[in-house]
Amino acid sequence: MSEPRRFALTPGEPAGIGPDLCLLLARQAQPHILVAIASRELLEQRAAQLGVPITVIAVGPSAWPSAPASAGSLYVWDTPLAAPAQAGHLDPHNAAYVLETLRRAGQGCLDGDFAGMITAPVHKGVINQAGVPFSGHTEFLAELTHTEQVVMMLATHGLRVALVTTHLPLKDVAAAITPERLERVTRILHADLVEKFGIAQPRILVCGLNPHAGEGGHLGREELDIIAPSLARLRDEGFDLIGPLPADTLFTPKHLEQCDAVLAMYHDQGLPVLKYKGFGAAVNVTLGLPIIRTSVDHGTAMDLAGTGRIDTGSLQVALETAYQMAGSRR
C-alpha cells in the first residue's frame, strides 16, 4: 500500500445533491486523505437533514491532516456561503462561493497541496444568473491553469471515450473537425493515457464521422480528406491508432477488448454508448490540464437534494479514478 495522498473534493452547487454525496460517502473510510472544500455549516445542516451522523473536522493550509479520516468523519476546509443554502432551492448569491471552492481546489493542486481534485456537479445556469460568465468546470480550470486546449473523456469499467468536439450543434460538427483540432486532441489523449494512466503505448480506436465511415467517399469525404490523413501523420510518429472505423460497429467487444480508449468525433456519437454501459458508475476526466481532475457523470438533481434517495456510485468511481491516476502519474 502506497503512502496516502491528499485530494480535494468540491461539493458543487450547495442546493443540489453534491453536499449529500460527500456526506454519504464519508460513512466509509477512504484509502487517501479527502478534504471537502465547502461550507462547514452547510455540511453540518445537511447531515442533520439527512439523519447521517458525520463528524466534520476542520482543516486547512495551516493544518493539513496526515492520515485518512476514519469512517463517519469528513475533513472540511471551511469556505463560507454568501447566503443560507436550502436543499432544492437555487440562490444566485452563492455563485461566488461555488467558484471559490473550485479556485481553492485547483490552486491547491497547482501548489502541490493536493494530488488531484474531484468535483460534484455545479449548476451553470444559476452562476450565469449571478452575472458571472461560466461555461463549466472544464473551462474554469483551463483558465485557472493557463491551459489552451483540454479534452473531455468519460470512462467506466472497460471503456474510455474521448471527444474531438463536445457541446456543439450537430450542424456545426463537420466544420469543426479540422486536421489541426483532430491532431491536437489525439496528442492530448495519447499523452495523458501515458502520463496519468500509466499506459506505455496506448492503442486508440478512432471513429469516422459519417455512417459506415463515409463508405469510401459515397457518404461524405471527411474520412478521406481529413481523418485518415491526420491519423497517418500521427502513426508516422509512433502513435498506435486504428481507424477511422464505422462507429456502429466499433463499439463491440471484438474491437474494444483490443484498445485503451475510443476517440469519438462528437458528443452523441460516443457518450450514449458509454452511459448505456456504465451510467451511475462513470466518471468525467478532463485531459490536458497540468492537474488531475475527475468528476461525476450526472447533474445537480435538485429534486433529490436533502432526501437521501441518491446513488454515490459515480462519485465513488470519480474518487477511485483520481486515486489511480495519481498513483500512475509519471
Annotated binding residues, as ranges?
137-138, 167, 212, 267, 275, 284, 293
On average, the pLDDT of the chain sits at: 96
What pLDDT digit, counting tens, does each position of 49-67 carry? 999 999 999 999 999 999 9
Other Cβ atoms less than 10 A from the Cβ of 5: the count is: 17
Please give the grid coordinates belonging to residue 189.
Answer: 489523449
Annotated binding residues for a divalent metal cation, as ranges?
167, 212, 267
What pLDDT digit, counting tens, does each position of 276-295 carry? 999 888 999 999 999 999 99
Which one, of 9, 71, 7, 19, lies nearest residue 43 by Cα?
A: 19
3-state secondary structure of 262: strand
Predicted confidence at residue 1, as pLDDT, reads 52
Task: Report d(CA 305, CA 87) in Å as an integer.
Answer: 5
Region at 216 (left for phi over 0; alpha for psi -120 to 50; beta for the rest): left
Task: Report d(CA 30, CA 82) in Å as an integer.
Answer: 30
What pLDDT digit, counting tens, does each position of 78-113 carry? 999 999 999 999 999 999 999 999 999 999 999 999
pTM above 0.75, yes or no: yes
DSSP conformational letter for 63: B
User: At residue 164, what are phi and psi to the nearest 5 degrees?
Assistant: -75, -45
List the beta bridge partners of residue 206.
Answer: 263
Residues of the chain with pLDDT under 50: none
Annotated binding residues for substrate, as ranges?
137-138, 275, 284, 293
Task: Report d(CA 14, CA 228) in Å as an integer.
Answer: 46
Q: Do residues 257 and 114 touch, judged by C-beta distance below 8 A?
A: no
Task: Report d(CA 82, CA 97) in Å as an integer.
Answer: 7
